[in-house]
Amino acid sequence: MADDDIILAELSDEDLVAQMKDDLYDGMKEEIEEGTRLLLDRGWTPYDVLTKSLVAGMQIVGEDFRDGILFVPEVLLSANAMKAGMAILRPLLVETGAPKQGKMVIGTVKGDIHDIGKNLVGMMMEGAGFEVVDLGINIDVDKYLAAIEEHQPELLGMSALLTTTMPYMKVVIDTLVQKGIREKVIVLVGGAPLNEDFANQVGADAYCRDAAVTVETARSLIERRHNQL
Ligand code: B1M
């Protein structure tokens, strides 16, 4: 059966998720929007739709990108489709009655334009009651410093997806030390090529594997800091 003949609404949940992974791979934005809405209508939580269809689908795209099967233009279409699904989930993930827990400034480091993971972290943090100031992509040290000065956040989040851009996190953290403001912010770092060792080496407070871990880590480090005061 050709893709055109597939009626998403008639698929079982399992088949729909499999089809959404294919559609994400093929960069089919409207199908991703429809699939996202269908899963929500069937009672799926926004978090499950996000992780089990969109993030899982992007994982496959990443593997084929790495292996030279997909190229930048195709991956851009997949990213756009993913963003369209995230746009539907965003209001659901960020709606919260929780009291404000603190403020986070977040940005993708200089030289790096990957923003899907960072956006997802921002959404989950907002959903958990944090105020999020998203600086965007390709953020240099001066922009991080200016944002810390302006917004006085408890947390600074940095994202990097490239092995060539992740060392820039150390530039930012070293500058915070030089300026005598390192202790003012909890620095959380994340992105696919990072790990805990790297976070320790650059002097971050914690490495966050994913958006959910970022929320947990932010909560526990803020609580620890309050207890020390
Ligand atoms: Co890029 N890319 N890309 N890419 N891309 C990767 C990262 C790569 C691993 C692909 C591969 O080869 N398998 C590879 C890097 C290899 C390396 O460095 N060793 C790569 C490359 C090489 C490149 C280019 C250099 C390709 C080229 O031009 N030849 C180029 C670089 C451009 C630049 O930045 N200067 C490039 C471009 C692009 C696109 C523009 C096409 C597109 C980005 C679109 C966009 O973001 N708007 C793109 C994409 C989509 C990817 C992959 C396929 C998917 C990334 C993604 O969105 N994942 C990626 C492959 C991969 O990661 N496996 C790849 C989904 C997202 C939810 O996960 O971002 O990991 P992730 O975020 C997670 C966690 O990491 C964590 O939480 C998130 C949510 O759970 N997290 C944080 C992330 N940031 C955090 C910050 C925190 C906390 C947690 O702060 C507190």
Please tell me the predicted confidence (pLDDT) of residue 3.
53
CA of 134 to the centre of ligand 1 (A): 17
> Is the distance from the beta carbon of residue 113 to the nearest atom of ligand 1 less than 6 Å?
yes
Q: How confident is the model at residue 225 (pLDDT cuts 50, 70, 90)?
A: confident
pTM of this prediction? 0.94
- The rounded distance, in Å, linking the Cα atoms of 207 and 195 is 6
Q: Which among 3, 9, 4, 7 has a CA at the least distance from the CA of 38? A: 9
> Is pLDDT at 173 greater than 50 in this prediction?
yes
Angle of the 72-94 helix axis to the 56-66 helix axis, nearest 10: 160
- The pLDDT of 164-192, averaged and rounded, is 98
- The pLDDT of 22-45, averaged and rounded, is 98
CA of 161 to the centre of ligand 1 (A): 5
Please tell me the predicted confidence (pLDDT) of residue 1.
46
CA of 96 to the centre of ligand 1 (A): 28
The per-residue pLDDT for range 36-75, each reduced to its tens digit, is: 999 999 999 999 999 999 999 999 999 999 999 999 999 9
Q: How confident is the model at residue 228 (pLDDT cuts 50, 70, 90)?
A: confident
Please tell me the predicted confidence (pLDDT) of residue 22.
98
Q: Where in the chain is the domain with CATH 1.10.1240.10?
A: 8-96
Q: Where in the chain is the domain with CATH 3.40.50.280?
A: 103-228
Which tokens is 40 given?
Answer: 């929500």
- The pLDDT of 98-122, averaged and rounded, is 93
- The rounded distance, in Å, linking the Cα atoms of 106 and 121 is 9
CA of 8 to the centre of ligand 1 (A): 28
134 φ, ψ (degrees, to nearest 5): -95, 115
Please tell me the predicted confidence (pLDDT) of residue 97.
64
Domain 103-228, what architecture? Answer: 3-Layer(aba) Sandwich (3.40)
Provide the residue type at 55 as one letter. V
Q: What angle do CA 186, 193, 218 make, to 5 degrees?
A: 25
> Is pLDDT at 98 greater than 70 in this prediction?
no
> Is the distance from the beta carbon of residue 62 to the nearest atom of ligand 1 less than 6 Å?
yes
Mean pLDDT, the chain, integer: 94
One-letter-per-residue 3-state SS of 30-83: HHHHHHHHHHHHCCCCHHHHHHHHHHHHHHHHHHHHHCCCCCHHHHHHHHHHHH
Q: Which among 147, 227, 162 has a CA at the least distance from the CA of 193? A: 162
Residue pair 179/145 in contact by the 8 Å Cβ criterion: yes
Topology, domain 8-96: 1.10.1240
Q: How confident is the model at residue 93 (pLDDT cuts 50, 70, 90)?
A: confident
- The pLDDT of 75-99, averaged and rounded, is 88
> Is the distance from the beta carbon of residue 54 to the nearest atom of ligand 1 less than 6 Å?
no
> Is pLDDT at 220 greater than 80 in this prediction?
yes
> Is pLDDT at 194 greater than 70 in this prediction?
yes
